[in-house]
Amino acid sequence: MASAGDDAHEVDDKYLRDIVVSFLLAGRDTVSSALTTLFMLLSSNPTVAATMRAEASDESAPLTYERLKRLHYTHAVLYENMRLFPPVQFDSKFCAGPDVLPDGTYVAGGARVTYHPYAMGRMPRIWGADHGAFRPDRWLTGPGGAFVPESLYRYPVFQAGLRVCLGKELAVTEMKAVAVAVVRAFDVEVVGDSGAAACAPKFVSGLTASISGGLPVRIRRVVR
């Protein structure tokens, strides 16, 4: 931030630190929820994990912000994970005054309008016949297989418009950094409570979604 004088500079630094801490704390539960379901999906989709590992194969290179931005496949994996298992399953807004939605639905002033990212992420008319499949490639439609985001109004995991999540980019960067650090060094296998073969984990909705009973896993170091 631009400022004049040492005192102003100190105030600006404190303000920025407070904002960063607020972002980190606000996104703690949602980021952990998204990472939990990510590793659940990677456990049953080893080819996806292998492709992520290949994309970030240079272990000597630090995971800088610029490098993380270039990991298009990993970005697609994160978005596909949150399409199927959004950390916040539903949200509501209240209409400030009488209005009409684009489809012609009348909404009275003060009415509560609830939308459901979990359901919207599985709608065939938005995502096609394979709406229930975990297919990161659906996001790689740009030149050279670059990641292309869907409209936030069709993919409202981070909300949209004036209410879009302020910490969206920080959250995605955090998830990328953790996912890449784990995947390029370890295989993660979901197991049962006693280490036996796992049943399908139960996804539990709520203010922030979670896995019932947690997600027991077995970690194996990748042999190169």
Residue list, annotated binding site: 165
Q: Which residues are annotated as a binding site for heme?
A: 165
DSSP per-residue codes, 206-217 = SSS-EETT---E
- Alpha-helix residue ranges (DSSP H) falling in the chain: 6-26, 28-44, 46-55, 65-69, 72-84, 117-120, 124-127, 168-183
**Sign of the CA dihedral running 38, 39, 43, 48:** positive
Determine contact, residues 52/183, Cβ cutoff 8 Å.
Answer: yes
How far from chain centre, in Å, is Cα 150?
Answer: 13
